[in-house]
Structure 1
Amino acid sequence: MTILSASGDELKAREAQAGAVRASFEAAGFEPVTIPVLQPAEIFLDRSGEDIRRRTYLFQDPGGQELCLRPELTIPVCRHYVAAEPAGKSVARLCASGPVYRYQPQGSAKLSEFNQCGLEILGPADEVASDVEMTSLGIAAVEAAGVTDYELEFGDLALFGELVDALAIPDAWKGRLKRQFWRPAFFDSLLSDLSASEADTDKPDRQDGLLSVLAGLKEDQATALLQDVLKLSGINAVGGRGIDEIASRLLEKAADRTTERMPDEATALLANYIRVSCPASTALARIHDLVQAGGISVDRGLGRLEKRLAALAKAGINLDKAVFSTGFGRKIEYYTGHVFELRVPRLGVDAVVAGGGRYDGLLQTLGASAPVQAVGCAIVLERLFLATSGQTTSNKGAK
């Protein structure tokens, strides 16, 4: 477990810098809220994605409820909003700060406990304007601390989703491609599996027996079967994926055995698209030429991207220095549109000092009666301080 300790003048400097970040957000009209450290585990496990799921500290209280130490602030803040505004019809500008916890392997230089200061715009607000405001506030907080040697990267998950939806492939495949977007190695493997020839799919697989049993079952039947197997094996599912999610994934693999392969043209287009990484100033033309050559139209997404990039440039963000990457999604699976990160490479494994993006689908999964527009940003305060002091978690002597 790696924790960054401080005392004396350094502690005062860190606290002063953190206070300045919070004050800048409150001055921009964000209302401070407090969020409990202890949270129901399921709200993160079902929504944050694999990267957060496998690093969440889980335990059961004496009453048997599965809890966790919060691994981030966005989901709890959204629950706070939904509790007060279940219809999502009013705009809230909220700011929260405090420690978050993510497991790191023994010997890792990455921090297991660190402080975030995050802000969210929740409810009906102009999409482009709020995307740009959130990005600008993150950049301003980093620059106000004296950090200028950062790298800035953008992505757009909605554009990727529109591209996948435009392909002439089964709907089930579209859903799987979208779900694996955040996991590059799994995405490449899935693309390879879906485009494999019939001879390739005849190769033996350790799951063949189970998949043949599941083939043709409905999802509730597959879930019940897996529950029986786990019960007979004495295995309890604690944290991680639920039985219903595992059943759904296995049914998808079983269905692949009886579904035709993905067309070569679609495979090539997706493989080429996901690897575009270029100055943000040239991204629109690069993506337009690529999809046009593939005979696909994503005009709505490109139009939205064009407006956002123009607004970012108007806000003073240098698009020649920023990078736009089509395969960039921040490894958090609730994002649905614009995403961004600021990294300071000299910090090494903890290079990300700020990041955020749009997550319009999250609040409905937390109890809102309809989809709610939402965009947020978080500053990692320890990393920001290290970036201003010329240190890293390695040479600082983190514990």
Structure 2
Amino acid sequence: MRLERSIPAAALDAIRAPLLAAGATPVDAPVLQPLGLLLDLAGEAMRSRLFVVSGDGGEEACLRPDFTVAVAREHFADGAGEPGRCFYEGKAFRVAPRGSDRAEEFLQVGVEAFEAGDPVAADAEIAALAWAASAAGGRADLSLVLGDVSLFSAFVDSLELAAPLAARLKRAFAKPRQLKAELDGEGVSSTAEQSRIAALLAGLPEAEASAMLQELWSLAGIEPVGGRRPAEIARRLVEKARSAEAGRLSPEQADKVRAFLAVSDRPEAALDAIVALAGPDDAGLKAAVAGWRARLAGMAARGVPLEKATLAAAFGRAFGYYDGLLFEVRSAALGDEAPVAAGGRYDGLPGRLGVTTTTGAVGCMVRPARAYAGGQA
């Protein structure tokens, strides 16, 4: 297993200090996490990056690849859905990318905020914390990349597409190949090519669809793997069948989406370009852009140098549970594939964990070994 180079205690203290000053309660999240849950939340594409092991009772588990889900599960363990801030520090584990089977073990520190109130102000604060902690490592070559899943959703809504097509396009945002297929008119097959099982399930209530899927498995002697629940699999098959009926983007609509995805500039200029591309129903997009201008003002007020920031409309995170702000702090020396810090908003995650709460959810993590000016990727 590849281990990061250790850094001096004084450097780690400096990097940790801005996060500790955020008023968060220390949380110790379990190293072992349920594999099925992680795949449900992040998508099957993450499987190749997960360090899979046998958990309690023989069920598949994985070493935590990140702290967001682990900390959220720990914070909401009692099901109360209470607000709070959590600080964490510990090792995370992933398989190295690009086909390598080498495992990586690395230190992360971070803050997860589960709070009601103004999400724009909270986003600005968390992004500023990540910047301050990264800069405390002494690197002079840092930059900030910003994105927003919900901004893309608001743009898609402005185009007045059929609801299933719009939903399919939004789901494809974090999946470049799938999004390209949508833009090239290859996002769905013809109705004749759709799964008969998916079409059949689409005509049933969810409970009946789940029961039928279980019966089919039983008759075929099939045991599902990865911890996926029958209801979840049935739901996805139904969504696939229904989305196939929504058709494809017109060439003009596809060109407009491509133009949106190509926007990458200093934040204010990028927002101007996005507004100019809006479709006829632009009220939601204009509101989202206004929120972004306030978010940028809040970040600047907290010391983030916006001249070093880029807002990239196509920027997305590998973890599929983010649904708002996304950001990465990068170092020119380390490259785009080795971010120093990252974070974002994931308001929908508590609900997917079965928690009823009125709080939002936003957080950030920093990798001290990358932030440290004398460290390596």
Unaligned runs of 5+ in 2: none
Equivalent position of 2:368 in the other structure: 381
Letter paired with 2:67 = L
Shift of 1:106: 8.3
SS at match of 2:278: helix
Contact 2:164 2:246 in 1 (8 A): no
Contact kept, 8 Å, 2:369 with 2:376, in 1: the verdict is no
2:104 maps to a residue whose letter is: S
- Percent identity of equivalent pairs: 37
Return closer, same or farther for 1:274/1:107 CA change in 2, 3 Å cut-off: closer
Is 1:93 aligned to residue 85 of structure 2? yes
Aligned match for 1:305, one of 292, 309, 330: 292
Question: Aligned runs of 1:1-399 on 2, under 5 Å?
Answer: 2-4=1-3, 6=5, 11=6, 13-61=7-55, 63-83=57-77, 86-88=80-82, 90=83, 92-104=84-96, 108=100, 112-193=104-185, 201=190, 216=203, 223-224=210-211, 226-227=213-214, 230=217, 235-239=222-226, 242-291=229-278, 296-297=282-283, 298-348=285-335, 350-385=337-372, 388-389=373-374, 391-392=376-377
- Structure 2 counterpart of 1:336, one-letter code: D
For residues 169 and 127 of structure 1, the distance between their equivalents in structure 2, rounded to whole angstroms, comes to 28
Deviation at 1:352, TM superposition (A): 0.7
Task: Give me the whole-angstrom Cα distance separating, in 2, the residues matched to 1:186 and 1:106.
Answer: 19
User: 1:209 deviation in Å?
Assistant: 6.2
CA distance in 2, matches of 1:37, 1:305: 35
Bigger drift between 272-281 and 362-371 goes to 362-371
Contact 1:157 1:336 in 2 (8 A): yes
Q: CA deviation at 1:301?
A: 0.8
> How many angstroms apart in 1 are the aligned matches of 2:99 and 2:325?
34
How far does the alpha carbon of each residue in 1:198-238 deviate from its partner, in whole angstroms, 9 at most, with x for none? xx848x85x66666666755555555555455556655332
Work out the CA distance in 2 between the residues paired with 1:223 and 1:345: 49
Deviates more, 1:69-78 or 1:50-59: 50-59
Question: Is contact 1:132-1:311 (8 Å) kept?
Answer: yes
Q: Equivalents in 1 of 2:49, 2:99: separation in Å?
A: 15
Which digits, 9 at most, give the CA deviation of each residue in 1:163-217, with x for residues without a partner?
A: 2234333322232222221111111213434788xxx848x85x66666666755
What residue identity is the alignment partner of 1:296? D
Query: Normalising by structure 1, what TM-score?
Result: 0.81
Do the aligned partners of 1:361 and 1:371 also contact (CA within 8 Å) in 2?
no
CA contact (8 A) 1:58 1:239 kept: no
Tell me how large the CA RMSD over aligned residues is.
Answer: 3.2
Shift of 1:51: 4.3
- Length, aligned pairs only: 376
Asked if 2 retains the 8 angstrom alpha-carbon contact of 1:94 and 1:120, the reply is yes
Contact preservation (8 Å) 2:95, 2:102: no
* Counterpart residue identity of residue 160, structure 2: A
Equivalent pair of 2:3/2:104 in contact (CA under 8 Å): no
Deviations 1:233-256 (A, max 9, x none): 655332275554444344344335
Pairwise CA distance, 1:80: 2.5
CA distance in 2, matches of 1:218, 1:35: 37
What's the CA shift for 1:145? 0.8
Q: Larger deviation: 29-38 or 245-254?
A: 245-254
SS of the residue corresponding to residue 17 of structure 1 reads: helix
Unaligned runs of at least 5 residues, structure 1: 393-399
**Aligned residues of 2:36 and 2:227 also touching (Cα < 8 A):** no
- Distance in 1 between residues matched to 2:301 and 2:102, nearest whole Å: 36
| Distance in 2 of aligned mates of 1:372 and 1:39 | 23
Shift of 1:357: 1.1
- Cα deviation code 1:71-123 (max 9, x no counterpart): 111112222222357243x4x22200111112236874986221111101211
Distance 1:219 1:271 in 2: 35
Partner residue in 2 for 1:395: none
Q: Which amino acid counterpart does residue 4 of structure 1 have in structure 2?
A: L
Query: 2:376, 2:187 → 1: CA distance?
Result: 47
Distance in 1, matches of 2:229 and 2:170, equals: 19
Name the CA shift for 1:37/1:301 in 2 (closer, same or farther; >3 Å): same
